[in-house]
Amino acid sequence: MTVSANEGSSFRFGRRDALPGFSPTLGLTLFYLALLVLLPLSALVVSASGMRWHQALAYLATPRVISAFRVSFGISLAAALINGVAGLLVAWALVRYEFPGRRILDGIVDLPFALPTAVAGISLATLYGDTGWIGGLFAPFGIEIAYTRLGIFVALLFVGLPYVIRTVQPVLAELEVEAQEAALTLGATSRQIFRRVLWPPLVPALLTGIAMAFARGVGEYGSMIFIAGNRPGLSEIVPLLIVVKLEEFDYAGASVLAVAMLFASALILLAINLLQSWERRRHGG
Amino acid sequence: MAVDRRASPKGLGSRLIAVSAASFMALFVVLPLTLIFQQAFADGVSRYLAAIADPETLDAIWLTLLIAAIAVPLNTLFGVAAAWCIAKFSFPGKNILVTILDLPLSVSPVIAGMVFVLLFGAQGWFGPALAAHNLKIIFAFPGLVLATLFVTLPYVARQLIPLMLQIGRDEEEAAIVLGAGGLRTFLRVTLPNIKWGLIYGVLLCNARAMGEFGAVAVVSGHITGVTVTMPLQVEIFYNDYHTVAAFAVASLLSLLGLLTLLLRRWLEVEGRGAVGAGMKGLPT
Amino acid sequence: MISVTNLRKQFNGAAALDGISLDIGQGELLALLGPSGSGKTTLLRIIAGLEQADRGTLFIDGQDALPVPPRARGIGFVFQHFALFRHMTAADNIAFGLTVKPRAQRPSRKAIADRVQELLSLVQLEGLGARFPSELSGGQRQRIALARALAVEPKLLLLDEPFGALDAKVRVELRHWLRELHDRLGLTTIFVTHDQEEALELADRVAILNAGRIEQVGRPREVYDRPGSAFVMEFLGEVNKLQCHIAAGRAVLGKQGGPSVDAGTLPAGPAVAYVRPHEIELDPKTPVGACDTVVRSLSVIGPRTRLHLELGGKLIEADADRAQVDALALTAGMTVRIRFKMVRLYTTSPSGMGYWRGSDGTTGQAPIENIRRSLPYSRVG
């Protein structure tokens, strides 16, 4: 979130603002944040540096860790991309068409947000298990969903879908109908209108939504551990690996993992941000 | 200026999109919710009620409520203060402040819990000092509160900041000029304007506080009756194959989630923008 | 060039267009004027193909246009809120229509770029081609929108309240600029407005719409001097409205003390009389048709003085030359003699007949047959 810069009067040290309460609120905010956010997170960084660089890298290079990262990041990315497509379709239908039940559908979109993760977790695990409503449909074909990577994928689809829909929806709604009508009068076909008038403004929003779904997926724990299978090297996710390390009192190791995970996520998000601003500059935002 | 002109879907292509979108959503999202209640009541209403009345469950409910009762007001107070200084004033470093504010949302819940273990765990920074005074934070109630505070920290602030930015300073300035003091201005001018956004932010904060799993699981130790919250109780029941009990507790949490959803819808319609756009409109 | 016959359109059971018939000549600049809800935008959009008519016909250049989609009608459309493509530069916006042409008809990249520059010059925005719409002012945006519409060389230009979203000053500037552009290009143009000043100043002909029907079509001077109905009378310019009663071929204005005027062939019964503020003569030389009024208030507005006069218990406004008012040393409370130079009478029955005879002898009658035939258009130079 960026904060617009033109509200309030300038704060100069020593100059009094007409509105009171600045110092106490700022002080409280800084204190609270320092104590609850900065301190704990710095403990993480410090703890991770308990290992030397080469030790840390060697630690990260073990097969179990590599596999966990592949599972967490790879499947999150895949799910986020699929959610991108599906979410776009749903947002499109919600914004551009009127059909019975549209308002209900619009409300349902938020459901994965509203359900606590553990609740979603046991529900998804049961639903896609071999005897579950959906899992049971696939079991006769030898397809296992729960306790496999497929289960992780499905759970991430569930958790990440609203992110895409909710980021794309407002942008779609904001697209001027008149710009599309103008394109019509200028001779464009429906395909041309989609490709050149509708799609370009959507891209940044879509990327944002995908990025958010991805970020959420990587760190997701509660909805995952029930359906994931958690087999080291196969269906173990990074957050679970961290918990295992903590239980073994391998604080340094757990911290290294956590920092590596944050770092990798940050890199990917940065890449997506860069992609977005490039798009924006190309198309005048 | 966007004109809302929705036409009924014309043509097969459009109809197909609409229908497939609807069925996709329904399948994916509603089924898990329905399953929760189906499983909870699979053995009948009496079994359901028995599960809820189980002492373990009641302990978990009580603990969850207690944690929320501490975490939510604290974070609300913080949220209001943060929104006040960020939205009504201009100062350098505001963007950094807001980024820090957002951090708890962008780290995995496991990491959120883990950082407190690093600080207060047996081998943590303050571990020995705490042990010396016979104080327990990790695997005890304080740890749960801290972890919950961390993960729910941004919610109220995130809801209030865009709202207060949108509203601006004019009314408060008018009140000051008319002679009102700071607190009175806040209570009688600011508060009424932000009340729906504040309520919604508190609801979100509360929903997350009661439903948080990952962070709390890490600091909890799963000590029955002492550090087991409702989400953890769900896990315990489930892993012990007490399926009905697990889903019964889950159903309670789901109701909380649904209630939050419904209230949001209602606020959107009634409040008509009084809730504010929120940061990217996302509750999590 | 355009021939509309009996066009009808309903929205949600209410008639937006209730039988519109109109002819528009080649190269004409026509204003569609009317209050909100009168159907003017609907008519424009049907001509553009952005809406479908329920009934009626539309011929453009002799071809039936109703089944033709907007992209094939050869029109340019300019929207009130510009509708520029926000993610494209001004130049790309202008070039858009050319770049979406089918391969076979698409000009070369260079040809398109040249045309864009040509149009930027035409709208006097050279050098701003690389800017995005968000970097342009409202007036500039609308000019880009116009350039964009003109790029594909339409045979018909349609503007929907083109200046509605602009500041007053910019609105006036662009108004003159649009007229000049039209004179230069000679393109048949229809624009919609609710601003009568704009319509009267800009257009060759004005069509006044009300509740989905055309009240009158004619040259600006004509619709102003010879209003075809009470609606047109009230809509254009300022009016004083007086109830009156017609008996034996004469109408007595106001309750008592008002002058009586010739009512021509209007039937006996209640009627409405309209007098424009500037058609009230102060301190007339002749006593014919004169009456006494009391000055209630006056205010100086630039070179004119606005007087509020009481006539038979009713308040009317007069617009008079300041010098004359000063010469008469008028103040509130004084009595002043006035005379109406022109009074227009309209009956209140559905037939809405009207009649007037001015003190200088001009007479007129309403309703005036809608002039459907296009103006014989002669352009000089």
Q: Which domains does chain A have, with CATH numbers?
A: 52-282 (1.10.3720.10)
Put simply, whether A257 touches B (Cβ < 8 Å) is no
B18: phi then psi, degrees, rounded to nearest 5 = -60, -45
pLDDT at B221: 85
> Which regions in chain C score pLDDT beneath 50?
376, 378-381
Query: Nearest-CA neighbor of A201 among A95, A276, A93?
Result: A276
Q: Which residues of chain C make contact with A196, given a CB cutoff of 8 A?
A: 85, 96, 100
Neighbours of chain B (3+ CB pairs under 8 A): A
Cβ of C132 within 8 Å of Cβ of A284? The answer is yes
pLDDT at A30: 94
Q: Which of A197, A200, A284 sits opposite C89 (nearest CB)?
A: A284
Query: Nearest-CA neighbor of B189 among B215, B168, B219?
Result: B168
Return the axis-axis angle of helices A238-247 and B109-120, rounded to nearest 10°.
Answer: 20
Q: Which of C88, C89, C152 sits opposite A186 (nearest CB)?
A: C152
HSE-up (13 A, CA, CB side) for residue A11: 19
SS3 content of chain C, % helix, strand, coil (to 5): 25, 35, 40
Nearest residue in chain C measured CA to CA from A186: C97
Q: At a CB cut-off of 8 Å and minimum separation 6, what does A141 contact?
A: none
Helices (H), C195-263: 196-202, 220-225, 230-235
**C367 preceded by a cis bond (ω within 30 of 0):** yes
pLDDT at A9: 46
Return the number of CB contacts < 8 Å for A and B. 329
For chain B, how far is it from start to end, CA to CA, in angstroms? 29
Instruction: Give the C-alpha separation, A196 to A191, whole Å.
Output: 8
Q: Using CA atoms in the order C78, C79, C82, C88, what is the torsion angle rounded to 10 degrees?
A: -70
C164: phi then psi, degrees, rounded to nearest 5 = -60, -30
Q: Which of A184, A192, A283 sits opposite C70 (nearest CB)?
A: A184
pLDDT at B274: 57
pLDDT at B282: 41
pLDDT at B4: 38
Q: Is C372 exposed, middle or buried (0-12, 13-18, 19+ CB in 10 A)?
A: middle
Put simply, whether A22 touches B (Cβ < 8 Å) is yes
pLDDT at A103: 81
Q: Which residues of chain C make contact with A186, given a CB cutoff of 8 A?
A: 71, 96-97, 100, 148-149, 151-152
Q: Tokens at residue B69, please?
A: 């009762």
pLDDT at C256: 63
pLDDT tier at B5 (50, 70, 90 boundaries)? Answer: very low
Q: Tokens at residue A216, please?
A: 């959420």
Return the number of CB contacts < 8 Å for A and C. 80
pLDDT at A177: 87
Cβ of C86 within 8 Å of Cβ of A201? The answer is yes
pLDDT at C330: 87
Q: Which residues of chain B make contact with A3, given a CB cutoff of 8 A?
A: 86, 94-95, 98, 161, 165
CATH number for B250: 1.10.3720.10
If you write DSSP's letter for every residue of chain A in order, what string do you get? ----S-SSPBP-TTPPPSS--HHHHHHHHHHHHIIIIIHHHHHHHHHHTTS-HHHHHHHHTSHHHHHHHIIIIIHHHHHHHHHHHHHHHHHHHHHHB--TTHHHHHHHTTHHHHS-HHHHHHHHHHHTSTTSTTHHHHGGGT---TTSHHHHHHHHHHHHHHHHHHHHHHHHHHS-HHHHHHHHHTT--HHHHIIIIIHHHHHHHHHHHHHHHHHHHHH--TTTTTTS---TTTT--HHHHHHHHHHTT-HHHHHHHHHHHHHHHHHHHHHHHHHHHHHHHHTT-
Q: Which residues of chain A make contact with C73, given a CB cutoff of 8 A?
A: 185
How many folded domains does chain B comprise? 1
Q: Which residues of chain A make contact with C88, given a CB cutoff of 8 A?
A: 200, 283-284
Return the axis-axis angle of helices A117-127 and B191-211, rounded to nearest 10°.
Answer: 50
Instruction: Give the C-alpha separation, C371 to C377, whole Å.
Output: 14
In chain B, the percentage of residues whose pLDDT exceeds 90 is 46
Mean pLDDT of B2-16: 52
pLDDT single digits (tens) B168-190: 888 888 888 888 888 888 888 88
Put simply, whether B10 touches A (Cβ < 8 Å) is no
If you write DSSP's letter for every residue of C343-368 in order, what string do you get? -EEEESSTT--EEEE-TTS-EEEESP
Query: Which residue range forms the structural domain that includes residue B223?
Result: 15-271
Q: Is residue B277 part of a domain?
A: no
Q: Which of C71, C88, C145 sits opposite A188 (nearest CB)?
A: C71
| Statement: residue B9 has pLDDT above 50 | no
Mean pLDDT of B147-166: 92
Cβ of C83 within 8 Å of Cβ of A181? The answer is yes
Cβ of B108 within 8 Å of Cβ of A119? The answer is no
Cβ of C83 within 8 Å of Cβ of A201? The answer is no
Cβ of A1 within 8 Å of Cβ of B279? The answer is yes
pLDDT at C371: 59
- Which of A178, A184, A186 would you mutate first to test chain C, the one with the most C CBs within 10 A? A186
Task: For tokens 């073994």, name the residue.
Answer: A248
Average pLDDT, chain B: 85
Q: Is residue B7 part of a domain?
A: no
Q: Is residue B282 part of a domain?
A: no
Give how far the C-alpha of residue C56 lies from the chain's centroid of Cα atoms, to the nearest Å.
24
pLDDT single digits (tens) C342-360: 888 888 776 678 888 777 7
Å between A237 CA and nearest CA of chain B: 11
Q: At a CB cut-off of 8 Å and minimum separation 6, what does C194 contact?
A: C33, C34, C35, C36, C40, C161, C164
Q: Which residues of chain C make contact with A200, given a CB cutoff of 8 A?
A: 87-88
Instruction: Give the C-alpha separation, A101 to C129, whole Å.
Output: 46
Query: DSSP letter at B8?
Result: P
| Distance (Å) of CA B108 to CA A159, A214, A272, A278 | 14, 12, 19, 28
pLDDT single digits (tens) B244-270: 999 999 999 999 999 988 888 888 777
Q: Which residues of chain C make contact with A284, given a CB cutoff of 8 A?
A: 86-89, 132-134
Nearest residue in chain A measured CA to CA from C97: A186
pLDDT at A58: 86
For chain C, how far is it from start to end, CA to CA, in angstroms? 21
Q: Is residue B264 part of a domain?
A: yes
Query: DSSP letter at B222?
Result: -
Instruction: Give the C-alpha separation, C97 to A193, whole Å.
Output: 11
Tell me how many degrees the CA angle A39-A41-A43 measures, rounded to the nearest 5: 70
For chain A, how far is it from start to end, CA to CA, in angstroms? 16
Please tell me whether residue B69 adopts helix, strand or coil conformation.
Answer: helix
Give how far the C-alpha of residue A194 lies from the chain's centroid of Cα atoms, to the nearest Å.
27
Q: Which of A178, A283, A284 sits opposite C81 (nearest CB)?
A: A178
Q: Is residue B171 part of a domain?
A: yes
| Statement: residue B6 has pLDDT above 70 | no
User: What ipTM was estimated for this complex?
Assistant: 0.85
Which helix (H) or strand (E) covers residue C40, if one does?
helix C40-48
> Which regions in chain A score pLDDT beneath 50?
1-2, 4-11, 285
Whether residue A236 contacts residue B107, with contact meaning beta carbons closer than 8 Å, is answered with: no
Q: Is residue B213 part of a domain?
A: yes
Nearest residue in chain A measured CA to CA from B167: A7
Q: Is residue B186 part of a domain?
A: yes
Å between B187 CA and nearest CA of chain A: 13
Whether residue B267 contacts residue B274, with contact meaning beta carbons closer than 8 Å, is answered with: yes
Neighbours of chain C (3+ CB pairs under 8 A): A
Cβ of C96 within 8 Å of Cβ of A186? The answer is yes
Return the axis-axis angle of helices B55-88 and B45-53, rounded to nearest 10°.
Answer: 70
Instruction: Give the C-alpha separation, C3 to C367, whole Å.
Output: 22
Å between B65 CA and nearest CA of chain A: 15
Instruction: Give the C-alpha separation, C194 to C34, whole Å.
Output: 5
Please tell me whether residue C104 adopts helix, strand or coil conformation.
Answer: helix
pLDDT at C46: 94
Helices (H), C74-137: 90-99, 109-122
Nearest residue in chain B measured CA to CA from A100: B8
Q: Which of C70, C83, C152 sits opposite A176 (nearest CB)?
A: C83
Å between A207 CA and nearest CA of chain B: 14
Å between A190 CA and nearest CA of chain C: 11
Q: Which residues of chain B make contact with A22, given a CB cutoff of 8 A?
A: 85, 88-89
Cβ of B103 within 8 Å of Cβ of A162? The answer is no
Q: Is residue B140 part of a domain?
A: yes
C247 pairs with which residues across the strands?
C250
The pTM is what? 0.80
Query: Nearest-CA neighbor of C87 among C132, C55, C45, C48?
Result: C132
Task: For tokens 């021939």, name the residue.
Answer: C3
Instruction: Give the C-alpha separation, C267 to C350, whole Å.
Output: 13
Q: Which residues of chain A make contact with C72, given a CB cutoff of 8 A?
A: 187
Interface of B with A in 13-72 (CB under 8 A): 14, 17-18, 20-22, 24-26, 28-33, 35-36, 39
